[in-house]
Amino acid sequence: MRTADIRQRFLDYFAARGHSVVPSAPLPTPDPTLLFVNAGMVPFKPYFAGEAAPRWDRATSVQKCVRTLDIEEVGKTTRHGSFFQMNGNFSFGDYFKEEAIAFAWDLSVKPQTEGGYGLDPERIWVTVHHSDTESRGIWREVAGLPDARIVARGDEDNFWSMGVPGPCGPCSELYYDRGPALGREGGPAVDEDRYMEFWNLVFMQYERGEGPGKSGYPILGELPRRNIDTGMGLERMATLLQGKDNLYETDEIRPVLDRAAELAGVRYGADAGADVRLRVVADHVRTALMLLADGTAPGNEGRGYVLRRILRRSVRSMRQLGFHDPALPELLPVARDRMAPGYPDVVESFARISDQAYGEEDAFRATLRQGTTVLDTAVAEVRRGGGRSLPGAQAFLLHDTYGFPIDLTLEMAAEQGVEVDREGFTALMNAQRERARADARARKSGGAADTSALRAILDAHGPTDWRAWEGLTTESRVLALLGPEGPAPVARTGDIVSVVLDRTPFYAESGGQDSDAGLLSGASAEAEVVDVQRPLPGLVVHRVRITAGELAVDDSVHAAVDPEWRLGARQAHSGTHVLHAALREVLGPTALQSGSYNRPGYLRLDFPWRGALSPAVRSEVEEAANRALRRDLPVGVRWMPLPEAKQLGALALFDETYGEKVRVVEIGGAWSRELCGGTHVEHAAQIGTVALTSESSVGAGMRRLEAAVGIEGFGYLARERDLVARIAEQLGAPRAELPEKIAGLLDRLKAADRENARLKAQAVSARAGDLAGRAADAGGTLVVAHTLDGAADEARALALAVRDRLPQGRPGIAAVATTSGGLVVAVNAAAREAGRHAGALVKEVLGGRGGGSADVAQGGGVPAADLTALLADLPRRIAAG
């Protein structure tokens, strides 16, 4: 049975039993504590945590998941991958243990001809929490399982919570005995390779308190609504139903592995080390495909860094297998074809996906060349100093600046007999990650110190009555004030605090649009609103600075958005939609927005594209955008079910989470149709103008357009006009003739540069001949030692010219220093035959600070006065040895 069929069979089974089929959420998650969805229940977390009212009594989904905490272990085991799919059925206060167990057993053992998976019931084992006698009894009754195949386990294995105060409860796991060839007899407590877990049923029935880890926290009591969360590993079920030993041999993964083996000229199963690398390639190529399909782009931080690392590990693994040509063009299409039955979007978006992936591989191949040079130099420095360990700071520099993976640094350093200070590297990495996490937490929480306090506010008062689409003012009540130390009853002049209101007109930053600015004013206080965030679903938090008086909990305030700010924000956000549509009109549908940011007067838009846009293309995009403004295209907003919006062709941002009904913003009807929660103008002409200010690279295969919008756009164009006018005045030429006038000036400058270079070469030649004629005889070797008041490139040119003027039949050495402390040594063929090496001479003179090839080398780092003395002593050194 194909994996795609296993997937559909699961959804069909639960849909027939009253479950709403919920589409997989995108892999990027809006949860600030997660980069990617890492479990099937993550999209339902707000309902389980009580942050939002459930939309369904019972639901089912097949959720895409990515886990990368143990990415170095991928391929070493045969049960874990970085990308996986989790089949799940969920109940929100509807059915509980008896129905969940009955569903799981029925689907697992029902014959395939009747819509089940047809597993042998005699080979299924289950585990229950040691305290959960109720589940044990249900398994006996529903499945007829004997006690010997119902295994009691402790908190670590069979009790679930989110790791924070909230819902928790026992769980029951289903295992399948794959036979004695795969391990010891005795059940899952003895061997979890032979007995493979394939389904976990979580029974949320308690509320837990504060406490660390998976145990040791207090149970506060029963939940008012008991919930069910289950997860069946799709890849594991495919392993069982396809009769494979491991997930890498299933139908969605094995073809990628086979193609990698074919390219590398190796056979899977012949060598353990090669097998691990092949599994890494197969896993990572599929993971990268799915991340790219959901809009993640390679980058240097957060999600982008995870994707970049996965892509680079796959490329590096192919190189380790002996394949040095571009690998992804051979492998990614295979993964696309295997995933297409379950995810048609990987085919629809493949032009964009492949463009980004292949660009990243090209960049990494260049990185390997550059990083290898830096690493070799660092290792040589360590060895010259008598050390055996590369400092952690050096490894971090390679990683952070050159994108050189730490595993590659470890491996290549070991090949040269040098260890790496892994602890020092890890400490620097952890510090960097913690800074990033702290920034993200502070931003997402609106500056509030304690998200648990925000959760308590939401529980007590419910969602904020958000009215940003309706107007610019509301009469509001202060529900809570939070400072750096937590809740506070009052805030005074000069304080910066987070404020929660019962209702607000302020737009909270989201969808690329910056938050509103404005004022809160009450009977005894005024406060400037400097930031607005939505740290929890439904809760709006205002970051404010108290400018006068005292603001207290329960105060009534007039909340007012700055109308000029909102106008600028609307122009910029609508301008982003217009620019996106214009870009796709000119470049085609693969130029799909992968990120954006807009604030009054400014917008930026990132999109996948290989190579810079020509000035002509930039002008064409800008003209298409402003043509839409000139036509004054109408801007409309419609609410509709998500499937209907997709059928209409509405574009969705990948990192946004959408409900059953979505808000579709149209500019000119189908010309620009996107899912969006931002604020917009009523007609395109209200945007004013879109003036492109720059186009640049933000990573391999990713470009960024920036533009000035509205009055700022007109200001930008006015400044450009004034600049052209000043240049025309200075050159004494009409504006229309400026390109030819400037081109002529540049031609004359280039000619002057060439003439200067010719004269300089003549001077160097004359000086070289003079110096060569005055060479010192050092034991049969002619030596020229000279100090030059010039740059390093001049010293190199002179050293080479002097060397070429020395008699070629005699050993000759030319050493030229600069007054800034640099040194270049050039050695002729006769000297090299006599055993002289330019790199060794540079190191000898400079005490190891430099090096190079046998015929020419350079270095520096020695004070100029010391270098002059060292250089004067060079003939004696040559004569002596």
Q: Show binding-site residues.
A: 573, 577, 676, 680
> Strands 159-161 and 486-488: what pairing?
unpaired
Please enumerate, by residue number, every residue annotated as part of a binding site for Zn(2+). Answer: 573, 577, 676, 680
Can you tell me the distance from the alpha carbon of 415 to that of 425, in angstroms, rounded to the nearest whole number?
A: 19
Give the H/E segment covering residue 812: strand 812-818
Secondary structure in 3-state letters for 117-146: CCCCHHHEEEEEECCCHHHHHHHHHHHCCC
Can you tell me the distance from the alpha carbon of 669 to that of 671, in angstroms, rounded to the nearest whole number?
A: 6
Residue appearing with tokens 């006038």: 741
Question: 663 has which bridge partners?
Answer: 639
Can you tell me the distance from the alpha carbon of 22 to that of 402, in angstroms, rounded to the nearest whole number?
A: 42
Cβ contacts of 539 within 8 Å, gap of 6 or more: 454, 457, 458, 463, 464, 500
Angle formed at CA 249 by CA 244 and CA 252, multiple of 5 degrees:
120
Which residue pairs, CB below 8 angstroms and at least 24 apart, start in 371-380? Answer: 371/398, 371/402, 371/403, 371/404, 371/408, 372/412, 374/398, 374/402, 374/404, 375/404, 375/409, 375/412, 375/413, 376/416, 379/413, 379/416, 379/418, 380/851
Can you tell me the distance from the alpha carbon of 125 to that of 698, in angstroms, rounded to the nearest whole number?
A: 52
Burial tier of 96 (Cβ tally within 10 Å: 0-12, 13-18, 19+): middle
Can you tell me the distance from the alpha carbon of 336 to that of 174, in angstroms, rounded to the nearest whole number?
A: 31
Put residue 202 in one of left, alpha, beta given phi > 0 → left and psi -120 to 50 → alpha. beta
Secondary structure in 3-state letters for 215-273: CCCCEEEEEEEEEEEEEEEHHHHHHHHCCCCCHHHCCCCHHHHHHHHHHHCCCCCCCHH
Give the H/E segment covering residue 599: strand 595-599
Residue appearing with tokens 């099937």: 40
Put residue 20 in one of left, alpha, beta given phi > 0 → left and psi -120 to 50 → alpha. beta
What's phi and psi for 637, nearest 5 deg? -125, 130
**The one-letter amino acid at 549:** G
